[in-house]
A = this chain, B = another copy of it.
Amino acid sequence: MSQPPAALAYRVDNCTIGRTMAILGERWTLVVAREVFNGVRRFDDMRVRTAIPRQVLTDRLRLLVEHDILRRVPYQEPGQRQRFEYRLTAKGLDLYPVLVAIADWGNRYLADPEGPPIEFGHRDCGAVVHARMECDHGHTLDDPRDVLPRPGPGARRNLDAATG
């Protein structure tokens, strides 16, 4: 009989990937964040661009504000009532590596032949920006097989686990 994987001996209820995906893993949430990253900050503009149903867009924006990823900023056009636009917080801006990593993967596997409609440039030199894996010793990891998942500082033994 084969050896059970070591991960079975640990609990997942404090997993930060799971917690992050509980926010970002709703169908449209990261697409809404993409709009704001891209400078599209107003409800009606997002709705026209993305065709997300009004109620869903309202819910996703509320979720992102609740989690302090977006903040609401009032604005008023001449002759109209006060409205709100959405800006990224520091916590929201820190999602940039996630967005770039997702775009890299999508561009590799899901792009139309002419390429993606958005790219990310380095503000200083203009070159295209990608997500890379790097270890704390400064090594770049180009091969995903060089990454080894292992129990972290918050790993908790699973007392129920049949660990063989």
Contacts and interface: CB of A to CB of B under 8 A. Distances in A.
Interface of A: 1-2, 4-8, 10-12, 14-22, 24-31, 34-35, 37-41, 45, 48-50, 75, 77-78, 91, 93-112, 114-125, 127-137, 139, 141, 144-156, 158, 160
Contacts of A26: 25, 27
B19 A154 contact: no
B155 A16 contact: no
A125 B147 CA distance: 11
Given A12-B49, A106-B17, A131-B131, A149 B38 contact: yes
B17 A154 contact: no
B25 A29 contact: yes
A83 to B, nearest CB: 12
Given A17-B118, A21-B27, A106-B17, A130 B133 contact: yes
